[in-house]
């Protein structure tokens, strides 16, 4: 199961091609709307004010409502481009932004906003993830996620039932007002902040993932890192494992299951049958109206100020993106497991 995307934030359209999708998955254009709207800009004052319709056109690979097994092409036309927002920085490098490295690599400066490095690219990940989630859901695998940190604010309580009821995907309803105050002050200051997302998959049977090349955790790390603005990925206890003793970290096994899940549901690159848990760090957005020193393409020292519509915390919209990437890796690993071992579960663990 392979997804490639195309298109620029300020081009005519963005899209993706999905190769290797199993035939027979029922999918209608309106099924994309829910997750796309969870990711979209312009829904609350805490995200970018750009208003995109994000309406999916299915160009190929689906016939009479079912996937055919041939490449699926999805297209979303951009409806609210405003590339003139970027006219005054067309020759400038925004510190912290990919325009510097794109220029060093290609020698071409795309003046249309972030182009491929924009958060807009993630739309197609979410769209393709809808198909992966559907296939997985029919096999008892559920993917969900929440925001787990904004700046230095962390959830006090954890209640999955409130996550979809607030604009932050936050698991503690009592903190939503505090977050609104925090984000309002941040937006007014002109600065941005990072965020952490946690995504989980329940119902993954033991056995998905390959032992060395194609480890489930390795592929998850690569998938999450491929999202624009991601700077870190943890599986299970992740970097907290550094300070742990082996006696703390190991997950004791009883006949009725594991006693804990420090491993994040993966051992040796292969799923254990526990919840697969991944945490993803998003950096603070780099397009800021606060001035910063930089250089331009002619080699002059300059000061950069970026105006226009930007997210003060791009992580606020990232929960559905990370869910989609988790689902895309899982469907791929499930199909590879089926090819080699013949079943994709739900299966009974061999001993526990
Ligand atoms: C983005 C800047 C804003 C965001 C955009 C990402 O748009 P514009 O380029 O029009 O100023 O709205 O995100 C999206 C459009 C999206 O769909 O996620 C940026 O600088 O990355």
Structure ipTM: 0.96
Q: Report whether 26 belongs to an annotated binding site.
A: no
Within-domain flag for 337: yes
Within-domain flag for 207: yes
- Give the number of domains in the chain: 1
Within-domain flag for 248: yes
Ligand 1 center to 99 CA (angstroms): 14
Report, as an integer, the average pLDDT of 95-108: 94
Contact yes or no for 177/350 (Cβ under 8 A): no
Phi first, then psi, for residue 226 (nearest 5°) are: -80, -5
pLDDT score at 122: 98
pLDDT score at 264: 98
Ligand 1 center to 118 CA (angstroms): 6
Does residue 130 carry a pLDDT above 90?
A: yes
Q: Report whether 309 belongs to an annotated binding site.
A: yes
Does residue 188 carry a pLDDT above 90?
A: yes
pLDDT score at 329: 98
From 7, 37, 41, 82, the mutation candidate for ligand 1 (largest count of ligand atoms within 8 A of CB) is 41
Within-domain flag for 333: yes
Q: Report whether 45 belongs to an annotated binding site.
A: yes
Least confident of 44-58, 83-97, 150-164, 320-334: 83-97
Q: What is the mean pLDDT of the chain?
A: 95
Please write the tens of the pLDDT for every residue from 146-169. Answer: 999 999 999 999 999 999 999 999
Does residue 350 carry a pLDDT above 70?
A: no
Counting atoms of ligand 1 from 1, which one is nearest the CA of 81?
10
pLDDT score at 351: 58
Ligand 1 center to 292 CA (angstroms): 20
Contact yes or no for 83/113 (Cβ under 8 A): yes
Residue 266 burial class via C-beta count within 10 angstroms: exposed 0-12, middle 13-18, buried 19 and up: buried
**173 vs 43: CA distance, rounded Å:** 19
User: Residue 173: which CATH number?
Assistant: 3.60.150.10
| Angle CA 36–38–39, to nearest 5 | 65
From 92, 97, 284, 311, the mutation candidate for ligand 1 (largest count of ligand atoms within 8 A of CB) is 311
Within-domain flag for 42: no
% of residues, the chain, pLDDT over 90: 90
Does residue 285 carry a pLDDT above 70?
A: yes
pLDDT band at 20 (very low <50, low <70, confident <90, very high): very high
Ligand 1 center to 9 CA (angstroms): 7
pLDDT score at 347: 54
Does residue 177 carry a pLDDT above 90?
A: yes
Counting atoms of ligand 1 from 1, which one is nearest the CA of 39?
18
* Ligand 1 interacting residues, C-beta cut-off 6 A: 9, 41, 48, 50, 52, 82, 85, 113-114, 118-120, 123, 287, 308-310
Please write the tens of the pLDDT for every residue from 220-259. Answer: 999 999 999 999 999 999 999 999 999 999 999 998 899 9
pLDDT band at 291 (very low <50, low <70, confident <90, very high): very high
Helices (H), 190-318: 216-225, 246-249
Q: Report whether 28 belongs to an annotated binding site.
A: no
Supply the range of the domain harboring residue 287. Answer: 85-341
Counting atoms of ligand 1 from 1, which one is nearest the CA of 47?
12
pLDDT band at 216 (very low <50, low <70, confident <90, very high): very high
Within-domain flag for 67: no
User: Would the pTM count as exceeding 0.90?
Assistant: yes
Within-domain flag for 246: yes
Within-domain flag for 14: no
pLDDT score at 112: 73
Report, as an integer, the average pLDDT of 15-27: 98
String of b and e for 316-352 (b: at least 16 CB within 10 Å)? bbbbbbbbbbbbbbbbbbbbbbeeeeeebbeeeeeee
The closest residue, in CA terms, to atom 16 on ligand 1 is 120
Report, as an integer, the average pLDDT of 77-95: 89
Ligand 1 center to 312 CA (angstroms): 11
């Amino acid at each position: 199961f392979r997804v490639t995307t195309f298109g620029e934030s300020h081009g005519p359209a963005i899209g993706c091609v999905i190769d290797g999708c199993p035939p027979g998955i029922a999918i209608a254009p309106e099924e994309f709307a829910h997750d796309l709207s969870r990711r979209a800009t312009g829904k609350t004052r805490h995200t970018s004010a750009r208003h995109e319709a994000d309406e999916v056109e299915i160009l190929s690979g689906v016939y009479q409502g079912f996937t055919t097994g041939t490449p699926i092409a999805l297209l979303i036309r951009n409806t609210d481009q405003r590339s003139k927002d970027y006219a005054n920085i067309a020759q400038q490098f925004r510190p912290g932004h990919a325009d510097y490295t794109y220029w060093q690599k290609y020698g071409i400066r795309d003046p249309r906003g972030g182009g491929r490095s924009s958060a807009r690219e993630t739309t197609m990940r979410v769209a393709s993830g809808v198909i992966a989630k559907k296939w997985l859901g029919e096999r008892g695998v559920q993917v969900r996620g929440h925001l787990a940190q904004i700046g230095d604010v962390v959830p006090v309580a954890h209640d999955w039932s409130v996550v979809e009821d607030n604009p932050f995907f936050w698991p503690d309803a009592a903190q939503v007002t505090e977050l609104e105050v925090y984000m309002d002050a941040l937006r007014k200051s002109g600065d941005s902040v990072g965020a952490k997302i946690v995504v989980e998959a329940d119902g993954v049977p033991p056995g998905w993932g390959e032992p060395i090349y194609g480890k489930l955790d390795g592929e998850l790390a690569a998938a999450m890192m491929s999202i624009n603005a991601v700077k870190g990925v943890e599986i299970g206890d992740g970097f907290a494992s550094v300070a742990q003793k082996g006696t703390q970290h190991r997950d004791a096994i009883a006949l009725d299951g594991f006693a804990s899940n420090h491993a994040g549901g993966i051992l040796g690159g292969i799923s254990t049958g526990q919840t697969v848990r991944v945490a993803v760090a998003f950096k603070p957005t780099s397009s800021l109206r606060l001035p910063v020193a930089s250089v331009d393409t002619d080699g002059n020292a300059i000061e950069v100020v970026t105006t226009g519509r930007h997210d003060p915390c791009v992580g606020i919209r990232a929960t559905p993106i990370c869910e989609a990437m988790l689902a895309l890796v899982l469907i791929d690993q499930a199909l590879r497991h089926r090819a080699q071992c013949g079943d994709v579960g739900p299966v009974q663990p061999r001993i526990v």
